[in-house]
């Protein structure tokens, strides 16, 4: 039996080996890590398209397709505190612009939709499943819709600060997304 040192805790003079993980230990971004980032997205003209600065950081589950592929690839292996500027080519972002996704349809095919106007986004049922389309032109009884993502064909410039990296919970992995602050809330 180990000899105990005096004191209220009865500490052994031969304590078992303990591994302590310090809060803030550097964890690399890898599949199934929950990553929080602040970002500013600009186009090649320098126009800001989106930003989390001044708001909550974006939290996502790495390796589950929750970000565009090129950005997720650039973040792999990084740690909290890292800052980076990356340019994502269209093929690694929202894809190349595909002219075959533009269609002219009669207004009557948009049953139940009143006041069809340029910029309006609609859900279309396609052979590949639901797709968001944008009305780009309305002339008389004809409506032009575009099934490309609004950022298709564009290079995307990200200015990123990684604010946190942690292991995902079993529930987050099972659901394929982050829960809690900056993530998804079930309710």
pLDDT, one tens digit per residue, over 43-61 is: 999 999 999 999 999 999 9
125/115 Cα distance (integer angstroms):
20
Q: The domain that contains 129 carries what CATH number?
A: 2.40.10.330
Question: 17 lies in a domain?
Answer: no
Question: 23 lies in a domain?
Answer: no
Contact criterion met (CB below 8 Å) for 151 and 95? no
Residue-averaged pLDDT of the chain: 86
Question: 185 lies in a domain?
Answer: no
Same domain, 77 and 122: no
Same domain, 136 and 105: yes
The structure tokens listed for 72 are 């997720």
Same domain, 157 and 90: yes
55/53 Cα distance (integer angstroms):
5
| Ranges 24-28, 104-108, 118-122, 148-152: which has the least confidence | 24-28
How much is the pTM?
Answer: 0.75
Question: 27 lies in a domain?
Answer: no
User: How many structural domains comprise the chain?
Assistant: 2
Provide the domain limits for residue 124.
99-146
The structure tokens listed for 181 are 């602050």
What pLDDT is recorded for position 23? 46
Contact criterion met (CB below 8 Å) for 66 and 177? yes
Same domain, 83 and 162: yes
Same domain, 121 and 88: no
Same domain, 43 and 133: no
Q: The domain that contains 69 carries what CATH number?
A: 3.10.50.40
165/63 Cα distance (integer angstroms):
13
Give the closest residue to 38 by CA, choosing from 84, 104, 103: 84
Q: Helix, strand, or coil here: 44? A: coil
For residue range 65-113, list pLDDT tens digits in order.
999 999 999 999 999 999 999 999 999 999 999 999 999 999 998 888 8
The H or E element spanning position 104 is: strand 102-106
């Amino acid at each position: 039996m180990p000899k105990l040192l005096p004191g209220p805790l009865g500490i052994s003079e031969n304590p078992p080996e303990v591994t302590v993980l310090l809060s803030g230990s550097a964890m690399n971004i890898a599949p199934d890590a929950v990553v929080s980032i602040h970002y500013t997205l600009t186009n090649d003209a320098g126009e800001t398209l989106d930003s989390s600065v001044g708001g909550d950081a974006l939290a996502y589950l790495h390796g589950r397709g929750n970000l565009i592929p090129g950005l997720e690839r650039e973040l792999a292996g990084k740690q909290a505190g890292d800052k980076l500027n990356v340019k994502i080519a269209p093929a690694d972002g929202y894809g190349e612009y595909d002219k075959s996704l533009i269609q002219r349809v009669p207004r009557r095919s948009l049953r139940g939709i009143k006041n069809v106007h340029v910029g309006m986004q609609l859900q279309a049922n396609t052979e590949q499943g639901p797709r968001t389309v944008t009305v780009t032109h309305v002339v008389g009884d004809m409506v032009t819709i575009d099934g490309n993502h609004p950022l298709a064909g564009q290079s995307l410039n990200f200015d990123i600060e990684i604010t946190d990296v942690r292991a995902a919970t079993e529930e987050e992995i099972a659901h394929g997304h982050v829960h809690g602050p900056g993530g998804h809330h079930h309710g």
